[in-house]
Structure 1
């Protein structure tokens, strides 16, 4: 039996990546495709690489268009998903790509977003560790409402959670510097994202504790640690279209050997198909994970500085967005978690 899935916001980067993956899904039928200002155009007008769907018309986003489906993916701007989701039947599985339902703390939402707090849904990062030894996966099985994670929180949370859950690193001296491709900012035309501005140049943005993903990262890492975690996060814009390379460091807690640190990460992710701790000495690149649903990482210890360093790479549009959505849909629909999701990247 094929599951019928609708995608709202089908003309954007997130919606396009969800569609790319659903096209190859063995048990999915792609239903209604909707958008706001791009209603009336075709998929091919926005995603020329999606040949099987190129002639499909994009409808206006209405509850009537979305309601008659097994699942609905909301790839809408932040602050707009809540109103649509509230009108969908309670039995319809809804996965939101935006931030509307990710945060459990209403005050954190109010600090970083300018729309009313809509509440929280089960958080859609299956591999995320919790302090009791469980993983977030168990909260997604059969769920009807799921908040897909942000791209930076995905890679940073998975990179640091093993050390925090095991008590190997301190929770109040966590520093992350992460470079992202321009697709992470969406399709809107803005001068800082134009090719003439980005090519041959790197820049920082949302510096000094103002990036919207900070409360999400801290929420995830605190859940793994069982105590409050504070993160200094600096994002960089890199001259590439997609991918994130995150360098995450934290101070060691007590006398811990490099061998203990490495074995903790390796054992934590040994059975996770989409998290790969690379062989010692091999460092991840964004090119390795391009188009795949994999987070690749390496962990090492700076003995003199007494810090753990984890470098992790992810495709912000696949595992960082569309792949996370499909992974969550599989769990919610009772399908194999890996269905329709690539484990290999594209090279060169």
Structure 2
């Protein structure tokens, strides 16, 4: 069976990465590529996607996106909910995958506090490896679902780094401090002065400082699912001169009496059966996961035994966005979870 997929936001980084992965997926076929203001052939905007270079861009309209089995929405935050509702009116059986944040948060107040607009209904969260203290696993929740909210890239990195400590009882999830080195593709393709090469090269630029970043409530939500009491955390992403990738360094307070073996055991057991999230001895680098749907996590008890430091490396466009979405979609369609996805990075 071939499943037809339409992609909105095809000229953006996230949409382009989805198309790159779809090109290698044996069960999914791209039926339409849509964009907002961009017109012409896709190759003008995504020259690396040779397989789709001659595809004509179509407008981002519900009637076009609804004419497929699956619609993947790579749209700015706040734009997916309205078009998703229109798609479902035209084709109620269409499976929807939102790469944006519109349907990630379960608490409407979290959305309104961080995004400033009315909240929409949450969809099934597209992180199969999310640890849940109660109820079915997140992987089970994704099987057969028709509405998927892909996770945020920064939120994914911090979640993978912190959730084993929460689920393993080493911490209650409070007092976490996360600092992330983030590649510039995480800021999108918008033409802004601080994103120009002349500004970026040789510089590191913090953003979303002081508890303002929109991924904070998503991370807190994930750690509560793992059994924590997390309501907020110190979270500071820093843009660094690389095209893609995230290296998250997460400092986590631990309960008295925690040993180095406790840390190793909690992290090894959390990811022992996972294909795409792996606990490693030592600490990962961002370059080791470039192009792969892989998260590498290392953790160590601090010398004073009051905190542990966990480091997670992901490719923000793959495991952080498009790869996670395709992994979740595979589960929704009843396909093997790893179909069309790779664990090997690109080096050098």
TM-score category, normalised to shorter length: over 0.9
Aligned to 1:156: 158
Aligned to 1:125: 127
Equivalent residues in 2 for 1:132-151, closer than 5 Å: 132=134, 134-151=136-153
Deviations 1:264-323 (A, max 9, x none): 1111101100001112xx211110000000001111000315111101100000110110
User: How many Å apart are 1:226 and its aligned residue?
Assistant: 4.5
Aligned to 1:81: 80
Deviations 1:36-89 (A, max 9, x none): 101x32111111110010010010011111112111100001111001110123
Aligned to 2:261: 259
Does 2:44 match 1:45?
A: yes
CA contact (8 A) 2:271 2:278 kept: yes
Deviations 1:120-152 (A, max 9, x none): 111111100011385311111110001000000
Aligned to 1:238: 240
Q: Give ranges in structure 2 of 5+ residues lacking alignment.
A: none
**Among 70, 77, 95, which residue is 2:97 paired with?**
95
Distance in 1 between residues matched to 2:92 and 2:303, nearest whole Å = 53
Q: Give ranges in structure 1 of 5+ residues lacking alignment.
A: none
User: How many Å apart are 1:203 and its aligned residue?
Assistant: 1.7
Is the alpha carbon distance of 1:134 and 1:166 closer, same or farther for their aligned partners in structure 2, counting shifts above 3 Å? farther
Which stretch of the first structure deviates more once superposed, 144-153 or 304-313? 304-313
CA contact (8 A) 1:171 1:230 kept: no
Does 2:323 match 1:335?
A: no
Distance in 2 between residues matched to 1:270 and 1:328, nearest whole Å = 19
Is the alpha carbon distance of 1:107 and 1:136 closer, same or farther for their aligned partners in structure 2, counting shifts above 3 Å? same
Aligned to 2:345: 345
Distance in 1 between residues matched to 2:32 and 2:215, nearest whole Å = 30
SS of 2:174's equivalent? strand
CA contact (8 A) 2:182 2:240 kept: yes
SS of 1:87's equivalent? helix
CA contact (8 A) 2:217 2:232 kept: no
CA contact (8 A) 1:124 1:149 kept: yes
Aligned to 1:14: 14
Distance in 1 between residues matched to 2:231 and 2:109, nearest whole Å = 17
Deviations 1:251-275 (A, max 9, x none): 1113121011111111110110000
CA contact (8 A) 1:169 1:308 kept: no
Is the alpha carbon distance of 1:177 and 1:226 closer, same or farther for their aligned partners in structure 2, counting shifts above 3 Å? closer
Distance in 2 between residues matched to 1:322 and 1:133, nearest whole Å = 27
Is the alpha carbon distance of 1:85 and 1:133 closer, same or farther for their aligned partners in structure 2, counting shifts above 3 Å? closer
CA contact (8 A) 1:172 1:229 kept: yes
| 4+ residue runs over 4 A deviation | none
TM-score normalised to structure 1 length: 0.97
Distance in 2 between residues matched to 1:261 and 1:305, nearest whole Å = 11
